[in-house]
């Protein structure tokens, strides 16, 4: 009995050190050597190397002169990385229907008669999706161009320049990274004053 207890304790210590300390250090070290940008969260830096976001985590934009992200159900105010997740509201839930109808009404007022891309009124599973579809970006061109007083064709060209195709030609969907598009918008046409 005593021999089995000693063996069990030694195995627990050995596996804890091996799998709880050495293996994570090895994997972290390899990630830092081979994929440093990805291992550090694909951070996006602005002026003076200040971190302004991540390529992996979405953030809200509400000003009319900027492209807006998908709605988020992550946390009370949305886009809370510590509370990632969807709302889990079913399609017949009154709260979900009210929110979607409100978003649809607001978007229809913005672009009357134009079909609304579904990703502008639905949340992603994580609530932190940094991308929108090219159709969702195109839907917002009129508002952004009007607010910035620039031709719609120029904004459309900027959307096209910042659109990404499927990874390796077959994985995922075409997409536009909202933060990077808004950074490109500011770089080309100047930063808007907060209202």
pLDDT in tens, 3-48: 999 999 999 999 999 999 999 999 999 999 999 888 888 888 888 8
Tens-place pLDDT, residues 37-90: 888 888 888 888 888 888 888 888 888 999 999 988 887 777 888 888 777 888
- How far, in Å, CA of 93 to CA of 107, rounded? 21
pLDDT of residue 194: 58
Each domain of the chain, given as residue ranges in start order, spans 1-40, 42-189
Whether residue 127 contacts residue 72, with contact meaning beta carbons closer than 8 Å, is answered with yes
Tens-place pLDDT, residues 104-119: 999 999 888 899 999 9
This prediction has a pTM of 0.80
φ, ψ for residue 189 (rounded to 5)?
-120, 5
């Amino acid at each position: 009995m005593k021999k089995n207890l000693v063996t069990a304790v030694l195995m627990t210590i050995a596996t804890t050190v091996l799998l709880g300390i050495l293996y994570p250090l090895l994997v972290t070290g390899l990630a830092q050597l081979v994929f440093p940008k990805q291992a550090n969260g694909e951070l996006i830096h602005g002026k003076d190397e200040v971190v302004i976001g991540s390529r992996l985590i979405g953030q809200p934009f509400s000003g009319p002169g900027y492209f807006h992200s998908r709605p988020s159900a992550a946390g009370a105010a949305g886009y809370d990385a510590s509370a990632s997740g969807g709302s889990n509201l079913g399609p017949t839930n009154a709260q979900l229907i009210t929110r979607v109808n409100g978003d649809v009404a607001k978007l229809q007022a913005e672009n009357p008669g134009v079909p609304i891309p579904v990703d502008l009124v639905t949340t992603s599973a994580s609530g932190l999706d940094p991308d929108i579809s090219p159709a969702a970006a195109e839907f917002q061109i009129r508002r952004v161009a009007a607010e910035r007083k620039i031709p719609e064709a120029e904004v459309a060209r900027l959307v096209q320049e910042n659109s990404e195709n499927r990874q390796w030609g077959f994985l995922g969907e075409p997409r536009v990274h909202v933060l990077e598009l808004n950074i490109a918008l500011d770089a080309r046409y100047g930063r808007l004053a907060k209202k």
